[in-house]
Amino acid sequence: MSTHGAVDTQGGGGNGADAPQARKRTFIAALITAPCVLVLLIFMILPLLWIVRISFYETVQGTTMNPAWVLDQYTRFLGDLWYLRNVVWLSIAVAVISTAATVVLAYPIAIHVSRATGVRRQILQTLILSPLLIGLISLVFGWIVILRSGGLLNSLTMWLGFVDAPVRYLYAMPAVYILLVYLGIPFVVMTLLDNFERIESTLLEAAANAGASDWRIFRSVILPLTLPGLNAGVLVLFALNFSAFAIPLMVGSANTNLIGLVVYKQAMQLGNLPFAAAISIIMVAVSATLLIIYSRLMQRWFLWRLGI
Amino acid sequence: MIPSKRPRVGSVLLKALTYAILFFLFFPIAVTIFVSFNSSGFLLPPEGFTLEWYEKAWGMAEFRRGILVSFLLGAASALVANALAFPVALALVRYNFRGKAALNLFVMSPLLVPTTIVGLALYIFLVRIGLGGRFITLHIGHVMTVIPFAVRILTASLSIFDRSLEEAARNAGAGMLRTFVYITMPILRTGIVASMMICFIISWNDFAISIFLASSNWTPLPIQIYSHIQFQYDAVSAAVVSSVIFLSLVTIIVIDKVAGLRTVMSQKPGR
């Protein structure tokens, strides 16, 4: 047992003195963390358990809840091909595509930043991370200015003669994709930077000295070394994109019913709380299943790369 | 860190691509700020600089109320979350006890659950126990959202703390409380300030949790902006949004100076 605690300054602890000390430490730790733990238990864990309970309720006449232990809500969602195709499958497709696009766009930025040094690097890092703290509504607003039918993008493409009439980007799928990718980039760049810092620079120098091209260095050194660490980031981003609701709510339409948005609409617009609860549990289950499958596949792929 | 020796076609392409993506990241923000100062609003070509939209925006009752609500909410959430998180961070850094890893995971739990579900769960629960539609409804939601950030930043600042300073004070005869007030707290001040600011700005900008918990009396600014732009899309809203952006930017710069943005932001808020 490592002894780092405040109580250990005297040092004389053999095994005999250690047990009561350990108990004392656990007691103090429990005492001072109790308020936070209690608050989280009441306002985080209890509400989440309550969601699970409510998902087994009956709904009568549209929205009235009736305490019960039935699977109505689950069978209603899973038994409806429309939900499976236009909600679950759509969410999976959107999450996969947007996550992949984010990773592809984040790599060049991360490589560029990792090559910069000193103040330049500091500034680049701050610039890239700041969208994470600027707030969803502000970023969405900017994109609405660009994407709406009389907006900058349409004005530009029409002026250049690419299109004759305004294209509908906003309140449609393209806007949802753009914003998911846009918000994902800072997050993936950050994950990648953490990983780049662990690559031995001698490996890259060796590759460069041996005459490898940039692309070759990327493919044979950077990519294999950063992929395992990137995986953690990809998993989180996939889960975030899969359950996104604010973005499709703000810039999507009736055709961009991602599963998170369906949860929101059922609860807040249609008032069907048990159904919303059941869908949110299905959402977590699907997302967890996909993440497990993905990890398994990646594991296989690594073993295959290693020739095992 | 990744060396680039001679300029090659690849590097030039990489640079061009990187700047294109950086442009992609900042263009929407720049456009909004530009519109808010442009006297012809959304119309091009720009006609000149004006503060008219800001004057109008800050004069509107709905936005004034939104600013007030968001400000109170941010301040209250930062205070409560840090008061709750500080002992946890202290325990995580200074004590070895059973269940430490579990505690760490537990306090991070609000970040592990999708925002949609946190929002829905809190909405159902708070209405059920009779706490719906009030300031405290939003307050509880925001405290839950920012606790993980507070714990993380406070933990980081406590773990670089030089314990020998405290020991010196104790050896010189100062009591535990005196040591805490005169030695520990002043040294930790920057960390605590950074944590408070991060919590404030996450709460100030929060949309996903607020939209579940807001009521007509208590509508935070982001929700107010959202309902405004659903019906009216004008340069006035650009001015409100720009005000929000400016406040965020100032905070970001201060946090970066005080604590380093990267250490602070290793998790992201929900979408």
User: For A250-275, how does the pLDDT look when each residue is reduced to its tens digit (9 = 90+)?
Assistant: 999 888 999 999 999 999 999 999 99
Q: What is the pLDDT of residues B3-46, one digit of tens each?
A: 554 556 667 887 888 888 888 888 999 989 988 998 877 776 77
Amino acid identity of residue A197, one-letter, is E
Within 8 A of B266 by CB-CB distance, chain A residues are: 190
Using CA coordinates, name the residue in chain A closest to B102: A37
Q: Is the pLDDT of residue B259 over 80?
A: no
- The span from the CA of B83 to the CA of B189, in Å, is 14
- The span from the CA of A59 to the CA of A300, in Å, is 45
What pLDDT is stored for residue A12 in this prediction?
A: 38
| Least confident interval from A37-51, A146-160, B130-144 | A146-160
A105 touches A181 (CB < 8 A): yes
Within 8 A of A130 by CB-CB distance, chain B residues are: 248-249, 252, 261
What pLDDT is stored for residue A3 in this prediction?
A: 38
Its domain, for residue B173, covers 60-265
Report the first-to-last Cα separation within chain B, whole angstroms.
32
Q: Is the pLDDT of residue B157 over 90?
A: no
Q: What is the pLDDT of residues B207-217, one digit of tens each?
A: 999 999 999 99
Task: Retrieve residue A201's tokens.
Answer: 């620079």
- DSSP output for chain A: ----SGGGTT----HHHHHHHHHHHHHHHHHHHHHHHHHHIIIIIHHHHHHHHHTTSEEETTTEEE-----HHHHHHHT-HHHIIIIIIHHHHHHHHHHHHHHHHHHHHHHHHHH--HHHHHHHHHHHHTHHHH-HHHHHHHHHHHHSTTSHHHHHHHHTTS-SS----TTSHHHHHHHHHHHHHHHHHHHHHHHHTTS-HHHHHHHHHTT--HHHHIIIIIHHHHHHHHHHHHHHHHHHHHT--HHHHHH--TT---HHHHHHIIIIIS--HHHHHHHHHHHHHHHHHHHHHHHHHHHHHHHHHTT-
> Under an 8 A CB cutoff, do A201 and B3 touch?
yes
Q: For all residues of chain A together, what is the average pLDDT?
A: 86
**Residue A308: pLDDT band with limits 50, 70, 90:** low
The most distant pair of C-alpha atoms in chain B lies apart, rounded to whole Å, by 72
Q: What is the pLDDT of residues A100-137, one digit of tens each?
A: 999 999 988 888 888 888 888 888 888 888 888 888 99
* A245 closest CB neighbour out of B28, B116, B123: B116
Q: Which helix (H) or strand (E) holds B93?
A: helix B61-94
Mean pLDDT of A164-190: 91
Amino acid identity of residue A58, one-letter, is E
Of A241, A222, A34, which Cα lies nearest the Cα of B268? A241
Q: What's the CATH number where B249 sits?
A: 1.10.3720.10
- The span from the CA of B101 to the CA of A54, in Å, is 31
Q: Is the pLDDT of residue A8 over 60?
A: no
CA separation (Å) from B250 to B32, B190, B198, B245, B255? 17, 16, 12, 9, 9
Q: Is the pLDDT of residue A279 over 90?
A: yes
The more confidently predicted of residues B9 and B96 is: B96
Using CA coordinates, name the residue in chain A closest to B235: A145
* A47 closest CB neighbour out of B100, B122, B167: B122
Report the first-to-last Cα separation within chain A, whole angstroms.
37
| Least confident interval from A85-99, A206-220, A243-257 | A206-220
What pLDDT is stored for residue B208 in this prediction?
A: 94
In a domain, B47, yes or no: no
Does the ipTM surpass 0.90? Answer: no
In a domain, B244, yes or no: yes
Mean pLDDT of A190-216: 81
- The span from the CA of A74 to the CA of A282, in Å, is 8
A221 touches A203 (CB < 8 A): yes
In a domain, B8, yes or no: no
In a domain, B44, yes or no: no
CA distance, residue B150 to nearest chain A CA (Å): 12
In a domain, B94, yes or no: yes
* B87 closest CB neighbour out of A33, A132, A186: A33
Determine the residue among A1, A2, A33 to mutate to test chain B binding: the one whose Cβ has the most chain B Cβ atoms within 10 Å: A33
* B10 closest CB neighbour out of A36, A45, A214: A214
> Under an 8 A CB cutoff, do B103 and A40 touch?
no
Residues in chain B: 271
Neighbour count for residue A48 (Cβ, 10 Å): 18
Q: What is the pLDDT of residues B217-254, one digit of tens each?
A: 999 999 999 999 888 888 899 999 999 999 988 888 88
Determine the residue among B2, B249, B266 to mutate to test chain A binding: the one whose Cβ has the most chain A Cβ atoms within 10 Å: B2
Using CA coordinates, name the residue in chain A closest to B248: A134
pTM (two decimals) = 0.88
CA separation (Å) from A192 to A102, A187, A237? 12, 9, 13
Q: Is the pLDDT of residue A78 over 90?
A: yes
Q: Is the pLDDT of residue B156 over 70?
A: yes
In a domain, B45, yes or no: no
Q: What is the pLDDT of residues B26-38, one digit of tens each?
A: 899 998 998 899 8
Domain count of the fold of chain B: 1
Determine the residue among A10, A43, A236 to mutate to test chain B binding: the one whose Cβ has the most chain B Cβ atoms within 10 Å: A43
Using CA coordinates, name the residue in chain A closest to B150: A36
Within 8 A of A35 by CB-CB distance, chain B residues are: 84, 87
* B167 closest CB neighbour out of A9, A214, A246: A9
Determine the residue among A124, A134, A220, A235 to mutate to test chain B binding: the one whose Cβ has the most chain B Cβ atoms within 10 Å: A134
What pLDDT is stored for residue A74 in this prediction?
A: 95
**Residue A150: pLDDT band with limits 50, 70, 90:** confident
In a domain, B2, yes or no: no
Q: Is the pLDDT of residue A20 over 90?
A: no
> Under an 8 A CB cutoff, do A4 and B28 touch?
no
The more confidently predicted of residues B185 and A10 is: B185
* B17 closest CB neighbour out of A9, A108, A143: A108
What pLDDT is stored for residue A6 in this prediction?
A: 41
Of B140, B148, B89, which Cα lies nearest the Cα of B270? B148
In a domain, B181, yes or no: yes
Using CA coordinates, name the residue in chain A closest to B123: A47
